[in-house]
Amino acid sequence: MSPRSKAASVSEPVDSSESVVKRRGRKPAQAAAAPVKKVATDEVIEDDLELAEDSEPTEDVLADDEVIEEDVEVEDVTVEEVLVAPSEAVRFEREGDDVVLTVGGRKRTLDDVDEASFEPAEAAKTEQELVEDGGFSLSDADDADEPEQQVMVAGATADPVKDYLKQIGKVALLNAEMEVQLAKRIEAGLFAEETVNEANAGADLEDLEWIAEDGRRAKNHLLEANLRLVVSLAKRYTGRGMLFLDLIQEGNLGLIRAVEKFDYTKGYKFSTYATWWIKQAITRAMADQARTIRIPVHMVEVINKLARVQRQMLQDLGREPTPEELAKELDMTPEKVVEVQKYGREPISLHTPLGEDGDSEFGDLIEDSEAVVPAEAVNFTLLQEQLHDVLDTLSEREAGVVSMRFGLTDGQPKTLDEIGKVYGVTRERIRQIESKTMSKLRHPSRSQVLRDYLD
């Protein structure tokens, strides 16, 4: 007898959507979370970064988002069409010798695991079109429930972005009904996986494992069908310090998070909900990775707010606002405004090419403040030689006291006490020797040769 025929019956239908909701820490009938700050769709980093990483987008955020209609060809539906009645929740129960998974009134048995759940809205590309593109596709007929995976073994290009866009374009888009069906299967899979992990499966272990695997397939399908949404949003953030492919990868992380937290019972299209998570993932990655010198997220918010106010005042005044005007508008001190402006400056590489031919670099035009001018180096050498000649006209003790007093030997001037310890005399005696020696050095016979270096 096959393992599938050995599956024991489940005494009561299990509403997996309710169980998953409870596992997430809220009651099934609980209202939406308390509203948080509304995020406008046209903001880049400023407002997105002010939200907690695990916070949920509120209903007004989702309702105002118009990104999907602009960039993704998703069939528009009303809330009434997407809402699912409690009676249509995902259930699995036994009918005769088969264990049946009921998804929105549609039943699937264990024998249907290798059959396609949905008919694609439209074929991404025909086989003939793929051949005309210079390659051919390979698909696994044994797993038709997955979105069609076509591997190009010929006709690959050197442009990774083009290849990536070509691959994700082969997965058919989903309509609202398909998104709800996939979300139900994902919740059923999560519930089954949790039951298996808690060791409460008993004789239904094989059936629960199959349902968990079916949920993972549904999750992958929902992810891959929305990869084009990530690309459309990532294009808005190009030219800001991160490569386009890096933006796409960060956005994909946000898409995964959206799939994990999507609640189809709220009545929103998945693409509308996922937009918020994708944008948040991209903007946080830009704050952490886009700059050569990383700036904390809270300071990035201040920098962006200052830049936004500065642009607005430039339009209103017709000139660049002063730090005092910006400080009054932002409720901070002028010194703080100048400091924030310094933080917001982008570093420039010294190897940046200049000119049409790029034959020179930016570093070639910067003065080295520590470099020694050749003429000054020659004068300093001659001065040292003249000083030694003048000191040679003094006694050994007088020359030693002056040299140590002014640091002519090692560049470190010494006190009278330190010099007195060297010669074994008092500091007063050293002061007398210094005074007498300086009088000798001021005599024209010795000082005239050194006066020329003062001009």
Q: DSSP letter string over 130-160?
A: HHHTT------GGGTTSPP-----S---S-H
* Structure confidence at residue 232 as a pLDDT band (50, 70, 90): very high
The CA distance from 219 to 224, in Å, is: 9
Residues in the chain: 455
Helix (H, G, I), strand (E, B) or coil at 94: strand
Check residue 155 and give left, alpha or beta (phi > 0: left; psi -120 to 50: alpha): left
- What are the strands of the beta sheet with 98-103, ordered from one edge? 91-95, 98-103, 106-109
* Residue 158 pLDDT > 50: yes
* Maximum average pLDDT range among 106-120, 121-135, 246-260, 348-362: 246-260
Token pair for 198: 């808690």
Q: Which pairs from 135-141 meet CB under 8 Å and 24+ separation?
A: 137/170
φ, ψ at 101 (rounded to 5°): -100, 120
Higher-confidence residue of 423 and 53: namely 423
Tell how strand 91-95 and strand 106-109 pair up.
Answer: unpaired
- Residue 108's pLDDT is 58
- Residue 346's pLDDT is 81
Residue where the block lists tokens 């009645």: 85
Residue burial 393-416, b: 16+ Cβ < 10 Å; e: rest: ebeeebbbbbbbbeeeeeeeebeb
**Which residues of the chain are in CATH 1.10.10.10 domains?**
297-365, 374-454
* Structure confidence at residue 333 as a pLDDT band (50, 70, 90): very high
The CA distance from 84 to 182, in Å, is: 13
Please report the DSSP string for 168-184 in residue order: HTTSPP--HHHHHHHHH
pTM, two decimals, is 0.50
- Residue 279's pLDDT is 94
Angle at 420 between CA 414 and CA 423, to 5 degrees: 110
Token pair for 5: 């025929």
Q: What percent of the chain has pLDDT over 70?
A: 64
* Residue 324 pLDDT > 90: yes
The CA distance from 428 to 416, in Å, is: 8
Residue where the block lists tokens 């001009």: 455
Region 435-439: mean pLDDT is 90
Side-chain-facing half-sphere of 67: CA atoms under 13 Å: 28
Contact 278, 286 (CB under 8 A): no
Domain range 4-289, its CATH number among 3.55.40.20, 1.10.760.10, 1.20.120.1810, 1.20.1250.20: 1.20.120.1810
Region 420-445: mean pLDDT is 89
Give the contacts of 17 (CB within 8 A, at least 6 positions apart). Answer: 28, 89, 90, 184, 187, 265
The CA distance from 327 to 398, in Å, is: 62
Which CATH fold topology does 374-454 show? Arc Repressor Mutant, subunit A (1.10.10)
Provide the CATH number for the domain formed by 297-365 in this structure.
1.10.10.10
Contact 402, 391 (CB under 8 A): yes
The CA distance from 193 to 207, in Å, is: 11
Contact 103, 188 (CB under 8 A): yes
Residue 308: closest CA among 40, 49, 43: 43
* Structure confidence at residue 150 as a pLDDT band (50, 70, 90): very low
* Residue 45 pLDDT > 70: no
Q: Choose the weakest-confidence range: 36-50, 254-268, 438-452.
A: 36-50
* Residue 109 pLDDT > 80: no
* Residue 81 pLDDT > 70: no
- Residue 275's pLDDT is 95
**Which residues of the chain are in CATH 1.20.120.1810 domains?**
4-289
Other CB atoms within a 10 A radius of the CB of residue 316 amount to 9
Residue where the block lists tokens 């002056």: 402
Contact 167, 137 (CB under 8 A): no
- Residue 323's pLDDT is 92
φ, ψ at 360 (rounded to 5°): -125, 160
> Crossing angle, helix 427-441 and helix 396-406, to 10 degrees?
100
The CA distance from 249 to 245, in Å, is: 6
* Residue 114 pLDDT > 60: no
* Residue 146 pLDDT > 60: no
CA torsion through residues 432, 433, 434, 440, sign: positive
